[in-house]
């Protein structure tokens, strides 16, 4: 956010957009639960929850496009999507008979996992940059067209995710 403030000193809208979207990072901790379901070969449960939220939000975004809503409305919807997805995953976790009160922190194990995951972190960062670079290239395109494109990308990610579910969860189709 500091970098945005320095680069765009006069653009308070940009700063607000970054603040709103950045607030969603605190809900990404719920992905830990999603990874646990993956480790148990039960990712179908979180996939249904996350895809339900994604479909709902895609509909809301489409409505915002149709009513020509301001860009800040899209930022709030992005924050709501991350928050709702986190909440949905947490609810699925509890509904499957798990208990958050049993969780314990192991700093030693966390340090070990961070050391082992360096190649994966670098790979994920490269994939993220690669998958989002089109937004920079389309920066000169009309903002409405960019909004349509972002909405279409979200919808296509849902389709990609279903293939991942089928591959990772043999219990899903048996």
DSSP collapsed to 3 states, the chain: CHHHHHHCCCCHHHHHHHHHHHHHHHHHHHHHHHHHHHHCCCHHHHHHHHHHHHHHHHHHHHHHHHCCCCHHHHHHHHHHHHHHHHHHHHHHHHHCCCCHHHCCCCHHHHHHHHHHCHHHHHHHHHHHHHHHHHHHHHHHCCHHHHHHHHHHHHHHHHHHHHHHHHHHCHHHCC
Residue 8 has pLDDT above 60, yes or no: no
Query: What is the percent of the chain where pLDDT is above 90?
Result: 33
The two tokens of residue 82 are 């991350």
CA distances 130 to 12, 82, 137, Å, are 28, 21, 11
pLDDT at 173: 47
Between 129 and 32, where is the model more confident? 32
Crossing angle (nearest 10°) for helices 118-137 and 143-168: 150
Tell me the pLDDT tens digit for each residue of 76-131. Answer: 999 999 999 999 999 999 999 888 888 888 999 989 988 888 887 887 787 777 66
Residue 145 has pLDDT above 60, yes or no: yes
Q: Please give the mean pLDDT across all residues of the chain.
A: 81
């Amino acid at each position: 956010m500091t970098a945005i403030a320095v680069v765009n000193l006069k653009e308070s809208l940009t700063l607000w957009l970054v603040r709103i979207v950045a607030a969603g990072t605190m809900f990404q901790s719920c992905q830990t639960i999603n990874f646990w379901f993956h480790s148990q070969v039960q990712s179908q449960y979180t996939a249904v929850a996350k895809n339900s939220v994604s479909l709902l939000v895609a509909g809301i975004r489409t409505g915002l496009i149709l009513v020509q809503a301001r860009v800040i409305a899209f930022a709030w919807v992005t924050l709501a999507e991350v928050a709702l997805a986190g909440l949905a995953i947490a609810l699925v976790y509890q509904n499957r008979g798990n208990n958050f009160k049993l969780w314990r922190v192991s700093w030693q194990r966390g340090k070990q996992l961070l050391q082992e995951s360096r190649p994966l972190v670098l790979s994920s960062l490269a994939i993220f940059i690669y998958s989002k670079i089109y937004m920079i290239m389309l920066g000169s395109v009309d903002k409405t067209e960019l909004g349509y494109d972002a909405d279409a990308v979200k919808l296509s990610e849902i389709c990609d995710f279903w293939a991942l579910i089928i591959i990772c969860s043999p219990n899903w189709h048996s």
